[in-house]
Structure 1
Amino acid sequence: MTSRAPVISVVIPLYNKAHCILKTLSSVASQEQSDFELIVIDDGSTDGSAELVKEAGVCDLRLIRQKNAGVSAARNRGIAAAQGKWIAFLDADDLWSPEHLQGLLQPLKETAAIAAISNLRLESRAGQPLIDAAVRPQMVDDYFSFALRNSNYPASSSSIMVRRDELLQAGLFAEGITTGEDIDMWCRLACRGPFFYNARLSATYADACSSSNRPVVPLFAQRLPGLMRDGRVPPVLVESADRYANFLMLEYARQLLDHGQNAEARAVLLHACVARYDTRRFLKRLTRTSSFGRMLFRLSRTDSARWKVVSSARD
Structure 2
Amino acid sequence: MKCMIITPLGPGHESVAAECRQSVRAAAAASSGPFTDVFHLIVDDRQGALGRSAARNQGIARAREAGADWLFFLDADDLMSPAAFSAVQRYTSEYDAVWGMICEMSYGHDRSQLRAGQLGSTESFHEILSVPPFLSLQIGHFVKTALAGSILFNEDMDCGEDFEFYCREWSAGRCIKTSDVFFVNRRGLHSTGPRSADGQQWLNAAERVVNNYRQKLATATDRP
Instruction: Tell me the TM-score range normalised by the shorter chain.
Output: 0.7 to 0.9
Match of 1:81 among 41, 62, 69: 62
Q: Which residue of 2 aligns with 1:115?
A: 97
Counterparts of 2:8 and 2:77, CA distance in 1: 10
Deviation at 1:222, TM superposition (A): 8.0
Q: Which residue of 1 aligns with 2:40?
A: 38
Deviation at 1:183, TM superposition (A): 0.4
Match of 2:112 among 124, 127, 130: 127
Do residues 18 (structure 1) and 18 (structure 2) align?
no
Counterparts of 1:152 and 1:180, CA distance in 2: 11
Deviation at 1:69, TM superposition (A): 1.1
Task: Read off the aligned partner of 2:21 and give its amino acid letter.
Answer: L
Structure 2 unmatched ranges of 5 or more: 191-197
Equivalent positions of 1:203-214 (< 5 A) are 203-210=183-190, 211-212=198-199, 214=201
- Contact 1:12–1:90, Cα closer than 8 Å, also in 2: yes
Deviation at 1:224, TM superposition (A): 4.4
Match of 2:49 among 68, 71, 74: 68
| SS of residue in 2 equivalent to 1:157 | coil
Question: More helix by proportion, 1 or 2?
Answer: 1
Match of 1:165 among 146, 151, 157: 146
Q: Which residue of 2 aligns with 1:201?
A: 181
Instruction: Please say which structure displays the higher CA radius of gyration.
Output: 1
Task: Read off the aligned partner of 2:157 and give its amino acid letter.
Answer: I
| SS of residue in 2 equivalent to 1:37 | strand
Deviation at 1:217, TM superposition (A): 4.8
Deviation at 1:98, TM superposition (A): 1.5
- Contact 2:167–2:213, Cα closer than 8 Å, also in 1: no
Task: Give the direction of change, closer, same or farther, for the CA distance of 1:10–1:71 in structure 2 (3 Å limit).
Answer: same
Counterparts of 1:132 and 1:241, CA distance in 2: 29
Do residues 179 (structure 1) and 163 (structure 2) align?
no
Counterparts of 1:133 and 1:187, CA distance in 2: 17
TM-score, normalising length: structure 1: 0.55
Do residues 145 (structure 1) and 127 (structure 2) align?
yes
Q: Which residue of 1 aligns with 2:76?
A: 92
Deviation at 1:181, TM superposition (A): 0.4
Deviation at 1:191, TM superposition (A): 0.7
Deviation at 1:13, TM superposition (A): 0.7
| Post-superposition CA distance 1:57-116 (Å, at most 9, x none) | xxxxxxxxxx7210100000000010211111100000012111231243122x2x2110
Match of 1:220 among 201, 209, 222: 209
- Identity, in percent, stands at 21
Deviation at 1:193, TM superposition (A): 2.5
Counterparts of 2:130 and 2:176, CA distance in 1: 16
- Contact 1:28–1:96, Cα closer than 8 Å, also in 2: yes
Counterparts of 1:189 and 1:21, CA distance in 2: 27
Q: Which residue of 2 aligns with 1:277?
A: none
Greater length-normalized contact order (CA 8 Å, ≥ 6 residues apart): 2
| Post-superposition CA distance 1:130-185 (Å, at most 9, x none) | 266994x55x0x22314535875422112x11111112222x10113221000000
Q: Which residue of 2 aligns with 1:104?
A: 88
| Post-superposition CA distance 1:9-52 (Å, at most 9, x none) | 11111113122111100000012216212211001x15xxxxxx
| SS of residue in 1 equivalent to 2:181 | strand
- Contact 1:132–1:150, Cα closer than 8 Å, also in 2: no
- What is the CA RMSD across the aligned residues, in angstroms? 3.2
Task: Give the direction of change, closer, same or farther, for the CA distance of 1:27–1:240 in structure 2 (3 Å limit).
Answer: farther
TM-score, normalising length: structure 2: 0.75
Task: Read off the aligned partner of 1:168 and give its amino acid letter.
Answer: G
